[in-house]
Each structure stands twice: as C-alpha cells, then as structure tokens.
Amino acid sequence: MKFMDRVRIVMAEKRLADSTCRSYCGWVRSYIRFHGVRHPREMGGEEVVAYLNHLAVERKVAAGTQNQALNALVFLYRNVLGAPLPDAMEGLTPAKRRKRPPVVLSHQEALRIIEALDPDVRLPVKLMYGAGLRVGEALSLRIKDVDLEVGRLMVYEAKQKDRYTVMPVSLRESLEVQIERARVRFEKDVAAGAGSVRLPEALARKLPAAHRELRWQFLFPASRLTLNEGTGIEGRWHAHRSPVQKAVRNATERAGINKRVTCHTFRHTFATEQLRGGTDIRTIQRLLGHTSVKTTMIYTHILDRGPLGVVSPLDR
C-alpha cells in the first residue's frame, strides 16, 4: 500500500472531515518534499521544527496556517506512524499571531449582497445568514435535515459535532421549492440508473438501501454525476463551495460594500445580530456549535456599544 493511501485510510477511520483530510494530506506531501522526499518514518521532531520554521520565516505564513501544518504532522506521527512528536518542540519559531475581530455586516449590507447574488446561489447564502451556517454546512444539508414543520435545521458532524439551529420562517417556501427540485432531479437520475448518494460508512452498512432514498439526497445536489465508490452506482454529491464563494465576492462588489466579505462573514453577522436582538450568549454558542463560549464571546466586542455597554461621549 502506498504511504499516502495509508494516511487517508487512518484519517477516514478517525472520521476526519473531507476538507480536513485534503488539507492534512497537502501538508504531509509538502513536508515530505521539503526534506527531499524522505520517508517520514526516517524523520522526527527536528525535521518537523525545520519545516515549520521554514513556513514562518521564509514563507511568512499566518499563525493559523502554521498551526494547521503542525496539527497535520502531529496527526501523522501519532496516528499513522505510532511515534508521537514531543510536546515541547525545541527551536520552533512560531508565526506571528495577529488577533483581528471578524468582519461583520449590518443587516442592510447583508441584504444588499444577497439581493445582488445570482438566483441559483441565493438560498445557500440566505441559510448562512439566517441560520448561522458555514458554507460547507449549508451545501451539505440533506433533505431529511430540513424540518419544515418544527422550523429547524439539523447540522451533522460539523467539527465532529451535531447540532440544531433555527430555520428562517421566511425561507420555508424557498426550501419547499428546493426540496421539490432535488426530488425531480433525483427521480430522473433513478430512471437513468443512477441516484446513489454517498453515506457515512457505518450508516451505509446499517442501512444498505438508504443511498437510494430521497431523504438522504443532498438539498443542493451537484450539477454532475459522480461514481459512488461504496455502491458502484452513479449519484450526486452536494454542490461545490467554490461557485458560491466566487458569487459572494462578485455580489459584494456589485452591492458597493467596501469590506472583505467571505461566506463566513454571514455567519459572523448572524451571531452579531442575535446579540443585538437580545439572545443570550449560551444560546448563540449552541446555535453556532462552538465548543467553548470563549469563541462566541468575540462577538460581544464588535457590537455598536461594546461588551460593557460603553457609548462614545460624542454619541451622548
């Protein structure tokens, strides 16, 4: 078995998200190439420090990027090679960490960008703003995750956690239309001998017929069919995030918003608007799926009045 294939298998066994697997594999390959294509088993802490210092000093990466590379290599040595790295990495030069408050929009700015979006990507972005979803969470919703009667969305395995969040009442009709579109496309795929969706491995073994059921299909299916490796049948993965990210950038320019807006900005804005509306911090923590309330507390620092209710003398 090729080494990188073994790395991917271990990541799948540990149930890492697909995006995390791709990122970690990229860092492992970069680490191997940096040291002249030596096998990681022949290297250790000294080589890891040299690589991380190269990222910080020569490539001048952000602290978060260096930490991501470190996490990938820690995972590699601990879980794949069975030779954990030392807790203290002597000689490591950490990248400079800059604490920046997240960019947020006003309610009107958010609506202006949404109105400037192409119609085919408008609903996922509305869910990011209206429900506090990450772009990947919005696009990977399955039909069964949308509870129209109760008015809530179920988000599975987001950062290896499950949670409920609010479903905007104003989007009920749009969601019903989207579910119907997904149903029509699914039935056409089935008629053509396709219509198989990928499921988590344990669930696929427990419910062998579920991959052909409508409820497990993605709410925002991809435009192209792909082969389901588990079943050998063609089906549709969820829509890719790149077109949505590009559409948000273009819509921001068309709306005349002079801020660095990304898909994640709508999640930040959701949290800020919840605070402005009087929602308590613990509830916002649960809606966003934060492990620690400290992560959620950052939004208290970007309200108009600040975390202590401070008002500028000029505004009195």
198 catalytic per annotation:
no
134 catalytic per annotation:
yes
The active-site residue, picked from 126, 134, 142, 236, is 134
238 catalytic per annotation:
no
2 catalytic per annotation:
no
The active-site residue, picked from 6, 39, 78, 159, is 159
Whether the Cβ atoms of residue 132 and residue 271 lie closer than 8 Å to each other: yes
The active-site residue, picked from 35, 122, 264, 276, is 264
240 catalytic per annotation:
no
Q: Three-class SS string for the chain?
A: CCHHHHHHHHHHHCCCCHHHHHHHHHHHHHHHHHCCCCCHHHCCHHHHHHHHHHHHHHCCCCHHHHHHHHHHHHHHHHHHCCCCCCCCCCCCCCCCCCCCCCCCCCHHHHHHHHHHCCHHHHHHHHHHHHHCCCHHHHHCCEHHHEECCCCEEEEEEECCEEEEEECCHHHHHHHHHHHHHHHHHHHHHHHCCCCCCCCCHHHHHHCCCHHHCHHHCECCECCCCEEECCCCEEECCECCHHHHHHHHHHHHHHHCCCCCCCHHHHHHHHHHHHHHCCCCHHHHHHHHCCCCHHHHHHHHHCCCCCCCCCCCHHHC
C-alpha–C-alpha distance, residues 231 and 196, integer Å: 8
For the annotated catalytic residues, the residue numbers are 134, 159, 264, 267, 290, 299
